[in-house]
Amino acid sequence: MNRLRLLSTLAVMGAMRDLAATYETDTGQAIEADFSPSAALLQRLRDGEAADIAILTAQGIDDLTREGLIRPGSRTDVALSHIAVAVKAGAPKPDIGSVAAFRSALLGARAVAYSRIGASGIYFAALIRQLGIEDAVNARAVVVPSGFTAERLVSGEADLAVQQVSELMVVPGIEVVGPLPPEVQTVATFSAGLLATSAQPEDAAALLRFLASPSAAAALRRSGLRPPVP
């Protein structure tokens, strides 16, 4: 079997690493997985980078399908995720149970870490603008160009980190405080699609079916994700 190449958003990295390893063991199919923020992957694919499967936001997969880069009809939802807040392990956990409490926690933080180009960071930037605290938060924010915001907790650069819960959970030495309040929460759907240029579409489709199967649910939940609603 030829190696399958998977380009995936960071938001599902923990689960996809586990699932790819399981699939390799069970089938003998080698998988090369590459993880980056969704926006970066979109640009790489538009620039012609070769792969067999892409995992992005649902909107990203739909956009690439319209552009002819993803095979029509191949979009498969694989995970649901919410945005959460984390602190360094052992640090006090602020109250974020209401919008007012969440707003106060952000204003009271020495520094808040969030991502520049990830889906959660784009949403958070709009949210603090909506809450009227954009200037105050950004005056001392640590805006991460790419990667995991919770790493800035461990380094001491920030005392709150905001990102998809699954991205927070891959960083050791932190604790998840909880999700954003329901009134300002957004649930992201992450989807997979087959690249139109894949040289091995049948093998790629078999992997895609596995990633969306009930047997993948446990790995998703361990990493803070949820299986998509049937």
Q: Which domain holds residue 111?
A: 81-184
- In this structure, are residues 193 and 57 in contact, taking their beta carbons and an 8 Å threshold? no
**What's the confidence (pLDDT) of residue 1?**
64
How do residues 157-207 score in pLDDT, each as one tens digit? Answer: 999 999 999 999 999 999 999 999 999 999 999 999 999 999 999 999 999
Same domain for 118 and 95?
yes
Which DSSP string corresponds to 55-88?
EEEHHHHHHHHHTTSB-TT--EEEEEEEEEEEEE
How do residues 41-56 score in pLDDT, each as one tens digit? Answer: 999 999 999 999 999 9
- pTM for the full predicted model: 0.85
Same domain for 107 and 55?
no
Number of domains making up the chain: 2
pLDDT-based confidence at residue 37 (cuts at 50, 70, 90): confident
With respect to residue 229, please indicate whether it lies within any of the assigned structural domains: no
Q: What is the CATH number of the domain that holds 173?
A: 3.40.190.10
Average pLDDT over residues 136-148: 94
Same domain for 23 and 41?
yes
Structure tokens of 3?
Answer: 């190696």
d(CA 76, CA 141): 36
Same domain for 165 and 133?
yes
- DSSP β-bridge partners for residue 54: 7, 193
- In this structure, are residues 38 and 108 in contact, taking their beta carbons and an 8 Å threshold? no
Same domain for 164 and 201?
no
With respect to residue 159, please indicate whether it lies within any of the assigned structural domains: yes
The pLDDT > 70 percentage for the chain reads: 99
With respect to residue 13, please indicate whether it lies within any of the assigned structural domains: yes
**H or E element that contains 144:** strand 142-144
**H or E element that contains 125:** helix 119-130
With respect to residue 227, please indicate whether it lies within any of the assigned structural domains: no
Same domain for 85 and 160?
yes
Same domain for 193 and 121?
no
Which residue shows structure tokens 């106060």?
104
